[in-house]
Amino acid sequence: MQQLTQKLGSGDMVIQEIPYPQVSKGMIVVKNHYSIISAGTEGSTVQAARKSLIGKAKERPQQVKQVLDTLKKQGPIQTYRAVMKKLDAYSPLGYSCAGEVVEVGEGITEFEIGDKVACAGAGYANHAEIVSVPTNLAVKLDSNINLKNAAYNTLGAISMQGVRQADLRLGETCVIIGLGLLGQLAALILKASGVTVIGVDVSEAAVKQAVKNNVVDLGLTRNSAGAEEQIFSITNGYGADAVVIAAATSSLDPINFAGAIARKKGKVVVLGAVPTGFDRDPYWYRKELELKMACSYGPGRYDLNYEEKGIDYPLPYVRWTQNRNMQAFQELIAKERIDIDYLTTHEFNFEDAPKAFDLVVNKSEPFTGIALKYDIDKEHNKKAIITSTSQQLGKLNISFIGAGSYAQGNLLPNIPNSNDVKRVGVLTNTGTTSKRVAEKFNFQFCATKEEDIFSEKTNTLFVATRHDSHASYVLKALQNSINVFVEKPLCLQESELEDIIDAKANIDKVVMVGFNRRFSPLTQRIKEKFGEGPMSMIYRINAGAIPKDTWIQDMEIGGGRVLGEVCHFVDYLTFINGSLPIKVSAQSLPDAHGLNDTLNIIIKFENGSTGTIAYYANGSKSLTKEYFEVYSTGSTAILNDFKELKIYGKGKPSKKKLMNQNKGQKEMVEAFIGGLLKDGKAPIPFNDILAVTKASFAVLESIKTGGQQVEISI
C-alpha cells in the first residue's frame, strides 16, 4: 500500500510503497476514502523540513541542546548516528482521515468490517491508503455520512475542546482570533450552541469567507479601524465573555488583543500556537482574566492507557474525552447542525498529494481546507516489499523485528558485511520505519506480517521491540529453530521465563540478551586484572527521572525501570565477579508515583562476592551517569562512565581514558555473530541470563517486602 512520507533532512516528499500495517490488539485497519491536510500543523512541519540544517536548528533550539548533550556524553559517532537517524527517516504526514474498516484486531467489539469510521492521531490517521488506528482514536459513523466532511475529524475535535474550555452559555459572546480551519470550526460549533460569535483575522479573505458562509455574527480584520469599539458595541459595552485564540504566530498581539476585548473576569483560551507572555497591565491584571489552554482533542490525549491500551475514562467523571469530542463533532455534521462543505476549497487525488503541499507551503492561491481523495477500488495485498536486488543467503541470515533508535544506532551498524552474514527481513510497528531500515541497511525485504520473518530464510533473529513483546518473540524464534538476540529484558513475567526455559531445553538454539556493558573494552581490562573470586563491588547509576506516563514506566508494556534497565547492572556485577547471584535485598525511596526507580540493591553471589547497585532517578543531570568500583585482594578499579578507568594496586596506578564513551555495543554484536559463525555458541552463558533475570524479579519482590532478602533458585 502507498503512503505519503517526507524526509526531515532533505525535505523530499514522496508517495511510496510501504508494508501493509499489522492488525494489532486493540487496533482497527482502515481503508482511507479521504484525509485532510492541516495547513497550520502540517504546513509548518513541511516548511521546516525544507529548510537548511541551520534553519532547522534555529527552529528547534531544544533539540540542538539535546544533540550537544549527546555529543558530550557519547561522542561524535553515536551523536552522528542519532542525528542521521532522524534526518534520514521517512516521516509520515497527516492526522485526520475517514474511511472503511477492513480488519479488526483482537479485543475489539465496537467495530466490525465494513463500518464507516473517522480517525485521528499523528502517526495513525496518516495520508495513506491503509491506516491502523487504536480504538479510542476512531469513531463509528452513519453508513450514509459524507466521508469528506467526516475526515475533518481531528480538526473538529481540537476545535471542540477549545470551545469546551471556553465554557460558554447560551446567549454569551465569544471572539475567535484566527479564522483558519480551527477558528472557523470553533465558530461553527459555538453558533450551533447559541453563542454570539465575532471573528477576527489578519486576512481579509478569511474574514470575508467566514461572513459569507454565516460562520460569524460579525467579522473584523485585525487592523481595521475601530475593531475594539465594534466588539464592545455588540457586547453592550462589557466585552467578550470568552476569547478563543486559534491563530498561529510568534507575535504577542493575539494574547494582548484578547486581554483588551475580554470582559472583566472573562476567559481567554489558547487553541493555536501562540506565545502567552502577555502585558500584565492594563487589561490582564485589572480584569482578573483567566487563561486556559486547550490540549489537542481533549482528555485522554498523551495518555498511554487511553490512546494505546484503549482504557476509557468513565463518562460520569470525564464527560468529554477526546473520543467523545470526536463523536460530538460527527453528530453535528450528521444532523446538519453545522455545514462545513464550504471549508474544502481544494481536492486532490492522493497521488497528487505533493502538489497539494506545494500549495500549502507556497501559498500560490487562497485555500482553507484541502482534501486528499483515495482510490477506494484499488486492491491491496500483504506481500513483503523487496528492497534489495540480491536474494543470496549465507551461514547467518539475519532478520529484525523492531528497529527503533537503539537498533539503528547500536545494533544494525555493527552487523558485518560478509558472504557469511546476510540481512534478510525487517518488521516494525510502522511501515515507514521498516522501509527505511531495509533500504539503508541493505535487507532483502521489509515485511508486512510476522510470517515473512519466521520463514525458512531466517536463522538468526534480532528483537528490538517494546519490552512486553520480547518473550513471545523469543518463544516464536525457538519454536521455529531460530537463534535469537533480544534487547533487554528477556521477559516481563516469571511465567514467561519458565516458558522460555522449557522451550530452550528442547531446542539447541542460542538465546542472547543485549547485556552490552560486559563487552566494553574497559570492562575487559578490569576482568583481566581481577579474574574471578570473592570481591566487593559498587555500581552507582545517576539514571535521571523519566515521566510516569512514559511507556518504559508502564509495568505492562515496559516493565518499569528495574526490569527494563537495572538488569544491565545485575549482569555487569555477575560478569565481573564470575559467579551467579543467589540472594537479593532491595529498598526504594518512596515517591509520589510509586515508580521504584530510586533504590539500593545488595546482591550476594555464589563465590561469596557482594555487590551494591545504587540506582538513582533523583540526581543532578550534570553528574556522569554510571560509576563503578571493585575491590579484591588489595586491588581496586574505578570505572567512570565507560570513558575512564583507573586500577590501583602495587606501585603506580594504571590509567586508561577513551576519546569517546564505549559501552560495548559494537563488541557485543561482533561477539554474538562471531560465536554463531565459529561454533554456534553465545558469548553470554544462558545460565547467566536466567540468573540475572531471576535476580531482577527478586529485586521487585524484595521492594514489596520492605527490603527482605530474597533467595534466587538457579
Candidates 662, 693, 661, 675; CA nearest to 513 is: 693
Q: Any residues with CB less than 8 A from the CB of 620 and at least 6 apart, and which?
A: 542
Q: List C-alpha distances in Å: 540 to 110, 537, 588, 598.
A: 49, 10, 14, 11
What confidence score (pLDDT) does residue 84 get?
59
What confidence score (pLDDT) does residue 202 get?
95
Strand arrangement, sheet containing 290-293: 218-221, 196-201, 173-177, 240-245, 262-270, 290-293
The model's pTM is 0.89
What confidence score (pLDDT) does residue 390 get?
86
What confidence score (pLDDT) does residue 693 get?
98
Cβ-count burial of 714 within 10 angstroms (0-12 exposed, 13-18 middle, 19+ buried)?
A: exposed
What confidence score (pLDDT) does residue 592 get?
84
pLDDT digit string (tens) for 563-610? 999 999 999 999 999 999 999 999 999 988 889 999 999 999 999 999
- DSSP reduced 3-state for 293: strand
User: Would you say 153 and 96 are in contact if contact means Cβ atoms under 8 Å apart?
Assistant: yes
**Virtual torsion, Cα 315, 318, 322, 326, nearest 10 deg:** 50
Candidates 372, 447, 325; CA nearest to 151 is: 372
Query: Cell 529484558 belongs to which residue?
Result: 489
What confidence score (pLDDT) does residue 199 get?
97
What confidence score (pLDDT) does residue 57 get?
55
Angle among Cα 550, 551, 553 to the nearest 5 degrees reads 75
- Domains in the chain and their CATH numbers? 2-152+340-373 (3.90.180.10), 169-293 (3.40.50.720), 385-513 (3.40.50.720), 516-663+684-711 (3.30.360.10)
CB atoms within 10 A of CB 28: 26
Give Dmax over CA atoms of the chain in angstroms. 91
User: Would you say 484 and 478 are in contact if contact means Cβ atoms under 8 Å apart?
Assistant: yes
Residue 541: alpha-carbon gap to chain centroid: 25
Q: Any residues with CB less than 8 A from the CB of 100 and at least 6 apart, and which?
A: 30, 31, 33, 114, 115, 116, 117, 376
Cβ-count burial of 79 within 10 angstroms (0-12 exposed, 13-18 middle, 19+ buried)?
A: buried
Counting as low any pLDDT under 50, the low residues of the chain are 56
- DSSP reduced 3-state for 312: coil
